[in-house]
Structure 1
Amino acid sequence: MNRSTTPADLVLTRARVHTVDPALPEAEALAVRDGRIVWLGTDADASAWVGPDTRILDAGGRLVLPGFIDAHNHVRLGSDDACVQLAGARTLEEIHERIRAWRAAHPGTAWIEAEAFDYSAIPGGRMPTAADLDPVTEDTPALVLSYDVHTVWLNTAALHRLGIDRDHLDLPFGTAVTDPETGEPTGFVKDFAVKGLSRDGHRALRELGVPWAAPDRQYGRLAKSLDDAIGYGITTVVEPQNSLDDLALFQRARAEGRLRSRIVAALFHPRGTTEADLDAFAAAARTFDDDRLRVGPLKLYIDDVVEPRTAALLEPYTGCGRHRGDTFYPPEEFAALLTGLDARGFQCFVHATGDRGIRTVLDAVAHARAANGPRDARHQIVHVECLDPADTPRFAELGVVACMQPRHAAPDIAGPGQDWAENIGPDRWHKAWPLRSLWAAGAVLALSSDWNVAEMDPMAGIYTAVTRRPLHGDGEPWTPEETIDVVTAIEGYTMGSAYANFLETERGSLSVGKLADFVVLSRDILRVDPERIPGTVAETVVVGGEVVHTSTQD
């Protein structure tokens, strides 16, 4: 072995290190100096790296993995303690019960705000209305966010407070849906992710007095989510949608010691983004470019989501006549837009869930390559929920990364009886989250949680990727032909996500020279029955050679 001339700062021993590096797949020990890995090898050779000030970390035979890289995690949205929590409420009656209980505990509140309502809780497969909220909210304005934060549900008082009527439907923070017979707004607002989470949308909500949009509330959500991330062993978070104003929140978190996970922050490119905006984005990328906080990719949308039937499909939604959703841009316009961004050297994260939306993005990337010449752009299609098999090989051919969220493919979220599966219809279920097909075709998989749409814990995503079963309780797998093995799932949460974000020389594997970001797990998820993957805990989390989190829970 090569002996060090200077002792290491930290030595990890008695570990089963799964490196995600084919050059040295496994090790028993590693040494860290100045925040980077300087050696991997056997326990027998580890003593050569130990000096009087070296910290010894005994893994007790446990599995050690590279720190997880969550490639799509909305830590700024988080989970808001000031909101009524509707996750798990399966009926309108349950939603009413939770709002009543919250109101009783918060008398005299100026606003009722709630989050994580599930579309399937509304009877008959319809979208919610103000009339559904009014009985339990009365004259207090109420704003309810869907679990995917793509839509908002308002009561009558909130419609009045926000100035929404039949003559004011195109809002800074969304598009008000109207009753087809009366033309009046129903209380349901779509396009919230595209407009409400933009710089202008947040400003409008703040000016209208919506507490959820206040900076201190935003920071509270961010700080809580960052604490959760490090507790799960997520050592790098890719926050996929930010305005320039939001960067101050990350700076505050860093100054206050809350930024224990590293951050990659993508900037939102809504319609109307100007050349001056792009210049400002490029300047921000130059300003924030270290291993703790990096700014640079651009986030765009081509379509919305399947559950409220706003994703763009090749064929109509089941039971909806000719309706097949819309793209936010005509294909030719989007191709020209992406080509221009590609020419300026920007990497693009494009939200696309429907098969027509995905194809539109792939066509745009092909157009950009033809116009600008091939380059290592690593544009991402984010979600890839409903993919036509004809487009599967195009990811690898065009160098497009599939940034996917395995947990979304679970039967308890999207399977039979849920809105996603019912809207798509059984004849198209084979298109659902085709992880194995994409991997077999050579695509790079960058796996992620999409918190707070689904659980942040990587164990939930890995379990679902491996089983396609419900996370809790018994249940049959859904589309099990698209499962992947544990090794591939781990790679998607480490090296795949590192590569997707141009980080593969610094992170994603435990290799000499890379940042010493790793996690010691309470169970060996490579060896246990997959049913035991959920509940596995990050017992020790190390970032840059510093122990930043410990837990003994199992």
Structure 2
Amino acid sequence: MEFVLMHIPVTQPTPADLVLTHARIHTVDPDLPEAEALAVRDGRIVWVGADADAAAWTGAETRILDAGGRLVLPGFIDAHNHVRLGSDGACVQLAGARTLDAIHQRITSWRASHPGAAWIEAEAFDYSAIPGGRMPTAADLDPVTKDTPALVLSYDVHTAWLNTAALRRLGVHRDRTSLPFGEAVTDPVTGEPTGFVRDFAVKGLSRDGHRALRELGVPWAAPDRQYGRLAKSLDDAIGYGITTVVEPQNSLDDLALFERARAEGRLRSRIVAALFHPRGTTETDLDEFAAAARKYDDDRLNVGPLKLYIDDVVEPRTAALLEPYAGCGRHRGDTFYPAEEFAELLTRLDARGFQCFVHATGDRGIRTVLDAVARARAVNGPRDARHQIVHVECLDPADTPRFAELGVVACMQPRHAAPDIAGPGQDWAESIGPERWHKAWPLRSLHTAGAVLALSSDWNVAEMDPMVGIYTAVTRRPLTGGGEPWTPQETIDVATAVEGYTMGSAYANFLENDRGSLTVGKLADFVILSRDILRVDPEEILGTVAETVVVGGETVSTRPGA
């Protein structure tokens, strides 16, 4: 992996705006891997070096930031973070509710404190909470929701779960199952909707899907609720030391939310916003996308990449696999596009110069995307497109070298590979079957093969804290610690994980000249950590906090260490 680093030489030191001293700086710059101090002027780094030379950059007006010997890293770049979805305080929170009884208890408790609620909305239900490995139904919700319509979103926001009242309110019935916000699953015997809705991430989070939900009176889709989620998530992001967030799926309507956040001083992290390209996107839409990219093109808010889906997710068995799901007969999931159609689509987008982020979790879905990129290169000629495959959960080893060969970035979320989320006994592992566990989140294999790893949280699907992602990438253990790691052959070391959260993610988004390492000429975005995660026992990575977060040379967040 080759990075182009922009260096701005300064021959005569003049006083800087900020000088950081007494630090153990891990620069993620191979030309100068470690340093003790750096200087900042006009929001950019003008010098990196030893403490002994810092005085030359210090004047009467220079602010001094003493790191006290702590580790300093480039600001984290979360390459796939749904800050616009966030975590909604008006919803029943179901994270950690691992049984249907636990879900019922939380909904009952919420109802008791919200007796006049017109809707019951909940988020983060875990598929494994439903007994027998089946998908949930309206009958599972009705006893505790009664006649109040209920909308429950899965932890990955790829599916929705409705009670009978919500089915009626939203107009879902046996003759209307293809909805603006998803595909209603029907009972194979009666033909009636079960209450489970697939493809919510593909349709419900689209421009048309959101509009439909708003028109139907679903509070979750209201603009003020959306902004509340965004503002809270942005505050969380900067507190974790995430100085650049890649928001991977937005409509043109959603850009106003980021403008509002910027105007209100909530946009302390820099934003890259990808625009959603659902089926039916027209050439006129693409012209509007290109115009938005020209309008929003600064170091605080940048719009440009396109988000597409080729398949869905493993747990409800909607990802596309090469071989059938375990215990599911011939069922191996579907792709949203036939392979030939998708190859033609990506080739057209590539020809127009768009970078594509393609959601692909199953091995057949991933191969379909790689084949499409190969077609685009053959037709359009090779270019530095940096198309991304997002998630890469189940990768056939035969396709591992193709990432580097085709210049495709692997945008991955290490936390998803934890045994308490995807391992033995969980829906992911059981749906795939033990004979394919070696394909799960192959971080080390891809890194060894020369692929660029862009690491991320996938908030709010998983915890936003980069320490959680780094810990899981290094250990493949649950957050509770102990126990046997799952698929430990795919762990990576801490330095590689840090690179994935900094320079890898910068490169993946064409930001390597501005961000990703602490290098002269780049934006002065960095974090001071409470522990040296490069040297401590991996178990101590958890609980490490970003004590000081600096963006463009300005301190934007401080908190005491663990």
TM bracket, shorter-chain basis: over 0.9
What is the CA distance between 1:298 and its match in structure 2?
Answer: 0.1
Amino acid at match of 1:515: L
Q: Counterpart of 2:389 in 1: which secondary structure?
A: strand
Match of 1:147 in 2: 155
Match of 1:7 in 2: 15
Task: List structure 1 runs of 4+ shifted beyond 2 angstroms.
Answer: 1-6
Amino acid at match of 2:301: L
Match of 2:264 in 1: 256
TM-score normalised to structure 1 length: 0.99
1:528 aligns with 2:531: no
1:292 aligns with 2:296: no
Deviation per residue, 1:341-367 (Å, 9 max, x gap) = 000000000000000000000000000
Match of 2:42 in 1: 34
Instruction: Determine which of 7, 17, 34 is the counterpart of 2:25.
Output: 17
Contact 1:327 1:357 in 2 (8 A): yes
Match of 2:144 in 1: 136
1:512 aligns with 2:520: yes
Q: Counterpart of 2:38 in 1: which secondary structure?
A: strand
Contact 1:13 1:56 in 2 (8 A): yes
Distance, in Å, in 2 between the alignment partners of 1:207 and 1:347 is 32
Distance, in Å, in 1 between the alignment partners of 2:331 and 2:301 is 42
Distance, in Å, in 1 between the alignment partners of 2:46 and 2:375 is 44
Distance, in Å, in 2 between the alignment partners of 1:383 and 1:243 is 21
1:369 aligns with 2:342: no
Instruction: Determine which of 117, 128, 132 is the counterpart of 2:125.
Output: 117
Q: Extract unaligned runs of 5+ from structure 1.
A: none
Contact 2:388 2:409 in 1 (8 A): yes
Instruction: Determine which of 454, 479, 485 is the counterpart of 2:487.
Output: 479
Distance, in Å, in 2 between the alignment partners of 1:476 and 1:258 is 41
Q: Counterpart of 2:29 in 1: which secondary structure?
A: coil
1:181 aligns with 2:189: yes
Match of 1:65 in 2: 73
Instruction: Determine which of 123, 138, 160 is the counterpart of 2:168.
Output: 160
Distance, in Å, in 2 between the alignment partners of 1:474 and 1:179 is 42
1:382 aligns with 2:390: yes
Deviation per residue, 1:264-283 (Å, 9 max, x gap) = 00000000000000000000
Deviation per residue, 1:81-103 (Å, 9 max, x gap) = 00000000000000000000000
1:226 aligns with 2:234: yes
Q: Counterpart of 1:7 in 2: which secondary structure?
A: coil
Q: Counterpart of 1:57 in 2: which secondary structure?
A: strand
Match of 2:276 in 1: 268
Contact 1:331 1:360 in 2 (8 A): yes
Instruction: Determine which of 309, 316, 319 is the counterpart of 1:311.
Output: 319
Contact 1:4 1:49 in 2 (8 A): no
Contact 2:481 2:539 in 1 (8 A): no
Instruction: Determine which of 92, 96, 105 is the counterpart of 1:84.
Output: 92
Q: Relative to structure 2, which stretch is displaced further, 40-49 or 217-226?
A: 40-49
Q: Counterpart of 2:511 in 1: which secondary structure?
A: coil
Contact 1:96 1:136 in 2 (8 A): yes
- Pairing of 1:391-410 with structure 2 (within 5 A): 391-410=399-418
- What is the root-mean-square deviation in Å for CA atoms of aligned residues? 0.8
What is the CA distance between 1:2 and its match in structure 2?
Answer: 6.4
1:106 aligns with 2:114: yes
1:457 aligns with 2:428: no
Match of 1:420 in 2: 428
Q: Relative to structure 2, which stretch is displaced further, 317-326 or 41-50?
A: 41-50
Q: Extract unaligned runs of 5+ from structure 2.
A: 1-8
Match of 2:476 in 1: 468
Distance, in Å, in 2 between the alignment partners of 1:536 and 1:52 is 34
Deviation per residue, 1:249-278 (Å, 9 max, x gap) = 000000000000000000000000000000
Distance, in Å, in 1 between the alignment partners of 2:102 and 2:559 is 34
Contact 1:3 1:49 in 2 (8 A): no
Amino acid at match of 1:145: L
Q: Counterpart of 1:51 in 2: which secondary structure?
A: coil
Distance, in Å, in 2 between the alignment partners of 1:98 and 1:131 is 17
1:448 aligns with 2:456: yes
Q: Counterpart of 2:90 in 1: which secondary structure?
A: coil
Amino acid at match of 1:384: V
Distance, in Å, in 2 between the alignment partners of 1:476 and 1:56 is 45
Distance, in Å, in 2 between the alignment partners of 1:553 and 1:493 is 21
Deviation per residue, 1:52-80 (Å, 9 max, x gap) = 11110000000000000000000000000
Match of 1:439 in 2: 447
Instruction: Determine which of 246, 251, 254 is the counterpart of 1:243.
Output: 251
Q: Counterpart of 1:46 in 2: which secondary structure?
A: helix
Distance, in Å, in 1 between the alignment partners of 2:175 and 2:135 is 21
What is the CA distance between 1:476 and its match in structure 2?
Answer: 1.0
Match of 2:54 in 1: 46
Distance, in Å, in 2 between the alignment partners of 1:406 and 1:500 is 17
- Pairing of 1:203-214 with structure 2 (within 5 A): 203-214=211-222
What is the CA distance between 1:394 and its match in structure 2?
Answer: 0.2
Match of 1:193 in 2: 201
State the aligned residue count.
554
Amino acid at match of 1:281: F
Q: Counterpart of 1:56 in 2: which secondary structure?
A: strand
Distance, in Å, in 2 between the alignment partners of 1:445 and 1:500 is 8
Contact 2:95 2:126 in 1 (8 A): yes
Match of 2:3 in 1: none
What is the CA distance between 1:553 and its match in structure 2?
Answer: 3.6
Amino acid at match of 1:349: F
Distance, in Å, in 1 between the alignment partners of 2:290 and 2:66 is 44
What is the CA distance between 1:542 and its match in structure 2?
Answer: 0.2
Contact 1:288 1:295 in 2 (8 A): yes
Amino acid at match of 1:117: F
Contact 1:3 1:48 in 2 (8 A): no
Distance, in Å, in 2 between the alignment partners of 1:420 and 1:57 is 46
Distance, in Å, in 1 between the alignment partners of 2:14 and 2:438 is 56
Instruction: Determine which of 277, 283, 291 is the counterpart of 1:283.
Output: 291
Amino acid at match of 1:493: Y
Contact 2:77 2:245 in 1 (8 A): yes
Q: Counterpart of 1:402 in 2: which secondary structure?
A: strand
Amino acid at match of 2:289: F
Match of 2:6 in 1: none
